[in-house]
Amino acid sequence: MNTHFENDQIEILADKARNGAISRRRFTQLAVALMGTAAVSLRGTPVLAASGELVFVNWGGDAITAYDSAYGAPFLAETGITVKQDGSGPSEGAIQAQFESGKPSWDIVDADPFSAQALGKKGMMEPIDYTVVDKTKTREGFGWEFAASSYFYSYIIAYDAKKYGDNPPKSMADFFDVEKFPGKRGMYKWGAGMWEALLMADGVAPADLYPLNIERAHKKLEGFKANVAGYWGGGAESQSMLMNGDASMVLVWSTRAKLLEQDSGGDISFTWEQGLIAPGSMAVIKGNPGGAEAAMKFIASAQDPAKQVVMFNMLAQGPANPATDALLPPEDTRYNPVDPANMAKQIPLNMDWYETNYGPALDAYLAIISA
């Protein structure tokens, strides 16, 4: 067997594919012709895939240093593959733009599972390889064809503890009751979690939430919106609403709960009651420069409980691997959205519903809040 020659042929093809002289699909076809199907399926298309580095795209800020120290740096030590952090925000449209450019520069994205699923069904995402990514290292019910569970956060009520004293809010009904709990409210601008909160306040049982009755939720919002001081679009904004006194109760991301408690010296508190758990995930763009294999390995490496402790400590992300819960210091478990005691009080967002209904529901929501 003249493997050296074959490899050289493949190398030439790979160069052409990288330069765009031939398409990736054509490269695979020609590689198959040269090496035989078995060899290609066994070795993948390693020459083309080995760019030797991965680009992990997150939402920027503190996340860049956190992801690097928790996952990126250890992965380099374990495999020799550099993981570059890119904080430009992998929104659904941005991922689509990457794919449609024909030459994506992103490998792994920190995306909403429902976005990854929607894009995956259009053929833009790599299916998660669950022979590499270990399903037993994720929580029951969180794992998707095109998205691997990577962390959790919740939409929870944070409130002015000084104002409400001995009678703090304990449910979404309390959040939307300005008679019993006077004061302005703050809500999330992009709708997620808010519909569920509105419906529970309107008397829908948590088990009956899905499919969401958007009209009913919006009717409740119409009647309530005069009491809303503002709709925050980012975590820092939600914090400033409470700290500046513009609202005395805000539905915030749980990742902000500890910061609020610390920054206010305990004047602002929070509850997990009827919180809404949102899953975060890692997904891989189809045709990613670093190759699907390396990307899957990276995702699997991020399932390590010790690494997830770092993410919890730095960003207050609820760990995706249930084995991580026990490693958190006991005084911090109350900040963990998926700690068994906290999780029991909450309801997970249904990603299937969001995948098909989020766009139109958000339009209707924005029309109401901006009217």
Instruction: Choose between 33 and 236: whose C-beta lies nearer to another protein.
Output: 236
Q: Which is nearer to another protein, 71 or 114 (CB)?
A: 114
Q: Which residue type sits at 44?
A: G
Nearer of residues 219 and 345 to another protein, judged by Cβ: 219
Facing residues of 319 across strands?
Answer: 151
Q: Which is nearer to another protein, 195 or 298 (CB)?
A: 195
| Start-end of H helices in 52-189 | 62-67, 73-79, 92-100, 113-121, 161-164, 172-175
- Give the pair of three-digit tokens for residue 265: 């010296």
The 3-state DSSP class for residue 273 equals strand
CB of 157 to another protein, least distance (A): 18
- Of 2, 1, 35, residue with least CA distance to 14: 35
Distance in Å, CB of 354 to another protein, minimum: 11
Burial class (CB in 10 A: 0-12, 13-18, 19+), 85: middle
Q: Which is nearer to another protein, 108 or 118 (CB)?
A: 118
User: What tokens does 330 get?
Assistant: 């006991």
Q: Are 146 and 125 in contact (CB under 8 A)?
A: yes
Q: How far is the CB of 19 from another protein (least distance, A)?
A: 23
Shortest distance, position 190 Cβ to another protein, whole Å: 7
Positions touching another protein (CB under 8 A) are 89, 91-94, 96, 189-190, 229-233, 237, 240-241, 243-246, 358-359, 362-363, 366-367, 369-371
By beta-carbon proximity to another protein, the closer residue of 313 and 357 is 357
Whether 49 contacts 291, CB under 8 Å? yes
Give whichever of 9 and 227 is closer to another protein, judged by the CB atom: 227
- The rounded distance, in Å, linking the Cα atoms of 108 and 298 is 9
Minimum distance from residue 317 beta carbon to another protein (Å): 22
**In the chain, helix, strand, coil percent, each to 5?**
50, 20, 30
* Burial per residue of 275-307, b for 16 or more beta-carbon CB atoms within 10 angstroms, e otherwise: bbbbbbbbbbbbbbbbbbbbbbbbbbbbbbbeb
User: CB 323 → another protein: shortest distance, Å?
Assistant: 34
Q: How far is the CB of 189 from another protein (least distance, A)?
A: 4
* Between 94 and 173, CB nearer to another protein: 94
Calculate the alpha carbon distances from 8 to 14, 32, 35, 361 in Å. 10, 14, 11, 54
Nearest approach, Cβ of residue 315 and another protein (Å)? 21
